[in-house]
Amino acid sequence: MGGDAVDIWQHLASRKIMLLKSMKLAVQELEDPYAVFSYAQEIGFNSGLLTQDILDKMVAAYNSANNKQATVEQEITPVATTAPTEVIANNSADELGRTIAPIAQHEPFDVRFRNNLPDWSVDDFSENASDAPQDIKVHYDITGKSVTEGKMSDINSCFSDRLEKIRKMIIRNSNLPKPPQEIARLQIEYSRYQGYGNTAVAIGLVNEPRYTKNGHLIWGIEDETGEMTCLLTKRQGDDRDRAQEMILESGLMPDDVLGVSGSFSQTGDIFYVSDLYFPLKPKHQKASSEHGVSVAFISDIHVGSKTFLEAQWHKMVRWFHTDPLAKTIKYLILSGDCVDGVGIYPGQDKELAIPDLYGQYTEFARLLELLPEWVECVMLPGNHDAVRPAEPQPTFEKDIQQDYNSTTFVGNPCDFSLNGVRLLSYHGKSIDDFVAGLRTVTYSDPVEAMRQMLRRRHLAPQWGGKTPLSPEPEDGLVINEVPDIFVTGHVHGHACIDFKGTTLICSSTWQDQTSYQRMLGFQPKPCILTIVNLKSHATTAIPFA
């Protein structure tokens, strides 16, 4: 090819010429692509989707101006038909984005392109993406399965399902001192559970958690049979217990499901809690893929906003085409707020560079097309995207999907496996509720909200808070399986840590600080690509800001 492939993709991008993957080979094979594209205006093609027909016309114009007889097909066809393997070999030698079939041998890694980051080793990122089969299995996605009519009976079924599922997890995973009993029965027999050693156990949904003036925590706990008032007191000296201190410090979320053990007051109207029980096991054992390929994560790209960081996007594209670590990235997870949307908040139109919603999605498709063809994107919606706001959210409509190649569309949340490693991807709108509800969760440390979600095995417990919920008869926000990797976005921060055997990733945004965030004094952490290897579970993060 007559020019550097990344340069020509960026040149076309800057002219708003969109290129499908099927056309990249044809463009790459041009002797002088810049010269051919200089004839675009002459044939009346200023911007938009490049088709074979348009390319043929430009080549014909170029040839006639240069007295050439050959057409673009004539330039490509002899090589493609007579020696297809040679085409592949030639392209892989260039290594700039075209791999048509698996390459027989691993290429040596070129350490010159390591971004000067010492924190990853070739052993941890051991396999090129194109050497492993694509293997995406979806275990849960609401798309096409939403059945709720939003009636009271749907809300009741949703909560019964939540209580039943999480109750079983608490019984299985936490060390209850004795089997739980129905709350109505405990209330009738309250006098049997008074004083030291006469412990009762119950599991239920939390109602109206609040603090007393003395710093004790008080809440209602409710099951199918009744409700009782629980009190967790602040203790002094040797009586202090770390787990209880943690709950006293953080608080509880309305509609949490948890277990309690303790005893009743003299009159039976207060249950003094001695211990609390959550449904998460102490340690999760991660699954590993047999393939050493990687998965990368970004979120909240907000294409269409004036604050979308386009120059940094192109820097990442260039990195994808040149860095050896990038060759191991088989999947790119886009965890919602892919575009800025329209009408999401008052006055948004003044902040938009692309005021048309479909125009925003077309532009995002064009930006994803610049990535190498070995990367498969998995895209889910967030609260800025063009799907219903109530969670679980189904995926994007077909008329949005049609602009995209190499993209798997899923709902929010989505529980899925990549080459045998289980991921839970959730946009993270409920982090707003966790910040409001728990004293230990802040926007500067959003990963604490993720720890709390896993601890509760629920992504968005609070009904009637900031997160709109769809009351499906089966609660789609229960974390049925503990994931190997749990990823969110939404808060425009960045984190990547291990929590009890699960890798927690707070995906970085591609949007600069907005005027609203400036007003709140919030500083985002944009343009960081988080990468996890599916075999070694080694992680690294590459900054592009």
Q: Kindly list the residues in this chain that would bind Fe ion in the complex (CB under 5 A).
A: 300, 337, 382-383, 490
User: Could you tell me the smallest distance in angstroms from the CB atom of residue 381 to Fe ion?
Assistant: 10
3-state DSSP percent of the chain in helix, strand and coil, to 5: 30, 20, 50
Q: What is the dihedral of CA 43, 44, 47, 49, to 10 degrees?
A: -60
The answer to whether 313 touches 441, Cβ cutoff 8 Å, is no
Give the integer Cα–Cα distance in Å for 524 and 140: 31
**Which residues lie closer than 8 Å to 511 by C-beta, 6 or more apart?**
300, 301, 302, 305, 307, 308, 309, 340, 492, 524, 526
Residues 457 and 256: their CA atoms lie apart, in Å, by: 9
The 421-425 sheet, strands edge to edge: 136-140, 414-418, 421-425, 485-488, 502-506, 495-499
Query: Nearest distance from residue 383's CB to Fe ion, in Å?
Result: 4
Q: Please, what is the minimum distance in Å from the beta carbon of residue 489 to Fe ion? A: 7
User: Between residues 170 and 528, which has the closer beta carbon with respect to Fe ion?
Assistant: 528
Letter for the amino acid at 201? V
| 99 versus 412: smaller Cβ distance to Fe ion | 412
Please, which residue, 300 or 475, has the CB nearer to Fe ion? 300
Find, among 535, 303, 297, the residue nearest to 425 by Cα: 297
| Shortest distance, position 253 Cβ to Fe ion, whole Å | 19
Smallest distance from the beta carbon of 435 to Fe ion, in angstroms? 13
Distance of CA 196 to CAs 124, 182, 199, 259, 265, Å?
54, 21, 8, 19, 12
CB of 511 to Fe ion, least distance (A): 7
Q: Which is nearer to Fe ion, 13 or 142 (CB)?
A: 142
CB of 299 to Fe ion, least distance (A): 7
- CB of 71 or CB of 523, closer to Fe ion: 523
- For strand 257-264 and strand 136-140, is the pairing parallel, antiparallel, or unpaired? unpaired
Smallest distance from the beta carbon of 304 to Fe ion, in angstroms?
A: 12
Give Cα separations from 499 to 175, 257, 454, 455, 480 (angstroms).
20, 21, 9, 10, 17
Cis peptide before 392, with omega less than 30 degrees from 0? yes
The residue among 403, 349, 414, 350 whose CA lies nearest residue 378 is: 414
123 class by beta-carbon count within 10 Å (0-12 exposed, 13-18 middle, 19+ buried): exposed
Q: Which of 23, 19, 22, 21 is nearest to 11 (CA)?
A: 19
- Which C-beta is closer to Fe ion: that of 262 or that of 382? 382
Measured from the CB of residue 162, what is the shortest distance to Fe ion in angstroms? 24
Nearest distance from C-beta of residue 514 to Fe ion, angstroms: 9
CB 306 within 8 A of CB 140: no
d(CA 245, CA 39): 72
Q: How far is the CB of 352 from Fe ion (least distance, A)?
A: 14
Instruction: Return the number of the residue (383 or 540) whose C-beta is nearest Fe ion.
Output: 383
Cα separation of 461 and 456, whole Å? 9
Burial class (CB in 10 A: 0-12, 13-18, 19+), 518: exposed
Is the CB of 40 or the CB of 338 nearer to Fe ion? 338
Q: Which residues contact 334 (CB under 8 A, 6 or more apart)?
A: 298, 299, 301, 377, 378, 379, 380
Shortest reach from residue 524's CB to Fe ion, in Å:
9
Measured from the CB atom, is 167 or 490 closer to Fe ion? 490
What are the residues whose beta carbons fall under 8 Å from the beta carbon of 491, sequence distance 6 or more? 428, 431, 443, 446, 506
Q: Residue 337 or 391: which CB sits closer to Fe ion?
A: 337
Query: Which residue's CB is nearer to Fe ion, number 33 or number 382?
Result: 382
Question: What's the distance, CA 68 to chain centroid?
Answer: 51
Q: Considering just the CA atoms, what is the radius of gyration of the chain in Å?
A: 28
Contact in structure between 358 and 304 (CB atoms under 8 Å): no
Nearer to Fe ion, 261 or 393 (CB): 393
Residue 165 or 490: the one with the smaller Cβ distance to Fe ion is 490
Nearest to 470 by CA among 163, 148, 166: 148
Whether 385 and 416 have beta carbons less than 8 Å apart is answered as no
Least distance CB 388 / Fe ion (angstroms): 15
Nearest-approach distance from CB 300 to Fe ion, in angstroms: 4
Residue 204 Cα distances to 221, 229, 434, 454, angstroms: 5, 11, 20, 18
Q: Which is nearer to Fe ion, 255 or 337 (CB)?
A: 337
